[in-house]
Every structure is written in C-alpha cells, then in structure tokens.
Structure 1
Amino acid sequence: MAESPPPGEPAEHPLIEAVRPLVDAVRGTVVPTGEARSGDVPLCWEGRTVAYVRLPVTDGAAGLSILINDVERELGAPLRDLPRREKQRAVRLLEERGAFEWRRSVEVIAEAIGVTRFTVYNYLNRERSSGS
C-alpha cells in the first residue's frame, strides 16, 4: 500500500512520482491543482493537469548561494578548503548548474573558492577547451 502524501500535496500520480527528484533538487513544491498560482508550472498527463510545481522565489544572490552550498555538500568541504583539482571540479559543477548566468557570479564564486576572478575564468576556459 502506498503512503499518503503530506497534507496539502496531491495524491501521487505516476507523473508526480517521476518528477519528484527534479522538484526536490530545485527546491520546488508539488501543488494541488486547486491551489495553483500564477507562475506555477503545470504537470500535464494525457491532456489533464494533475498538479503544479511551485518553484522557490530566489534572487540571484540567494540562488547562487544555494548552488554553492549544494556543491560544498556534494564535495564534502567548503570550496576554499578544497585542493586545486577539486576547486576546478567545483567550478565545472557550478557552470553545469547555471551558476554563471547571474550577474557578478564570477566574483561571488571566486570569493567562495578563495581564488581570483582570473583563476575562475582560467578554470572555465580549461574546461571549455578540453571539451569536457
């Protein structure tokens, strides 16, 4: 027997089950159709909306901070405490997750890693030129 969803969340539909890891990863919330607001993303199955996803409201600085914290957790240490290769890996992970889309992100990431902006750009260029 399947567990009941938390109060206020819709019953688990196969689509909701399928996207749950993604929703959790972006810190979203699954919202029942009757509670949807403007900006919520509909989850449609066979022409019917079964629920919505509400994405968190974050400004660039908060979103970037979340990404940095996630990478620190994944790599097991504050970015500035990592050896050079792991710092390069952190920059690659942050780039893959869209961290460099925000204004002034290079400066923020350089400070978090404990390197200069120039070094962050070198890490980015190294990754791009190696084709990884």
Structure 2
Amino acid sequence: MELHAEFTSEPFRGEGPPPEHAVRACEAAERAGLRTDFGPLGTSADGDHDAVLDALPSIVRAALDGGATQVTLRLGTTPRGTPPTAGDTSVLDGFVRAVEAELGTRLGDLDRPGKQRAVRLLEEHGAFQLRKSVAAVAEALGVTRFTVYNYLHRDES
C-alpha cells in the first residue's frame, strides 16, 4: 500500500530562499527514497507504506535540527484518482494563456504586483489543483516556487 505524507515546518519567513528547516526535511524524505514535491509551506512525500513510516522520524528530526519550531504532519493512503500533474500541459497551458490574455502580456514580463495578480487569477481558474503546477507557474513567471507559495498565501490588503 502507498502512503502520502504532507508536512510543514515553521517558522515561515516570507520571500527569499526557502527556510533551512524545510529544505532539510525534504532532503531527509528524498534520502529515504520517497517521491517528493517540495514547497516551503508544504512538502509532500509518497512511497511504500513501510518506507514512509520509517522515514517520518528522520524527516521531523531534520526539520527540528534545521531550526523548525513546529512540524505539522498529515498522513494517509495515496488518494485514488489523483489530479493530473502540471506535466499535462494542455490544461495548465490553457490557464496560463487565459491569464496572459486577461493581463495583456506574458507572465514572465509582469512586474511584481502583476505577478501576484496572475497567481491569484490562476488560483481562481483552478490551476493549482493540478499536481506540480506551482513549479510550472514559477517557471512561467520567472520566480521561485517559494515566491509562488508566498503569493498564494499572502493577505490581500
């Protein structure tokens, strides 16, 4: 049986490079042979039941040793009918083209407020329901995945 673990570590610092505790936790999951999707506000790791359960102590220890003050974990079986990945380019490309048309330019040519707006519009279109879409959107915007996560979780004021 496959298991799916999602873990977050805090504190969250905002923009810039990902926090050391998030990087170390992801690296621990990868060393354990798990398939990972890294995001500083949430990293997922998938693998065989025993491999995931055996890796959890080292993931948590790596986060804490890296400076985390809190680690949150969600664990479950790998969901059936997982959403398509961003590798299914026709779906994500359609979202990106629609947002570019609405904003009147390519995502990579936008200034920072424009990129923030683009991320909000992509979220409204459901682009982030696709697995691994954050990495693809980050590439289109010319920013890091960490920045996209920051835009997604930013308070609109």
- Contact 1:107 1:117 survives alignment (8 Å): yes
**Letter of the structure 1 residue corresponding to residue 89 of structure 2:** A
Runs of 4+ in 1 over 4 A off after TM superposition: none
| RMSD of aligned alpha carbons | 1.5
Say if 2:90 is the partner of 1:74: no
1:61 Cα offset (Å): 2.1
- In the alignment, what sits opposite 2:152? 124
TM-score scaled by length of structure 1: 0.51
Q: Which has the higher contact order (CA 8 A, sep 6+)?
A: 2
Aligned to 2:64: none
1:103 is matched with which residue? 131
Which residue identity does 2:128 align to in structure 1? F
**Map of 1:90 onto structure 2:** 118
Larger radius of gyration: 1
Work out the number of aligned pairs and report it: 71
Any stretches of 5+ residues in structure 2 without a counterpart?
A: 1-86
Describe the SS at the equivalent of 2:153: helix
The C-alpha deviation readout for 1:13-53, integer Å capped at 9, x for no partner, is xxxxxxxxxxxxxxxxxxxxxxxxxxxxxxxxxxxxxxxxx
**1:96 and 1:74 mapped to 2: Cα distance?**
13
Residue 113 (str. 1) matches residue 141 (str. 2): yes
List gaps (5 residues or longer) in structure 1. Answer: 1-58
What letter is aligned with 2:136? V
Deviation of 1:97 after TM superposition, in Å, equals: 0.7
Does the aligned pair in 2 maintain the 1:60–1:103 contact within 8 Å?
no
1:11-26 mapped onto 2 (5 Å cutoff) = none
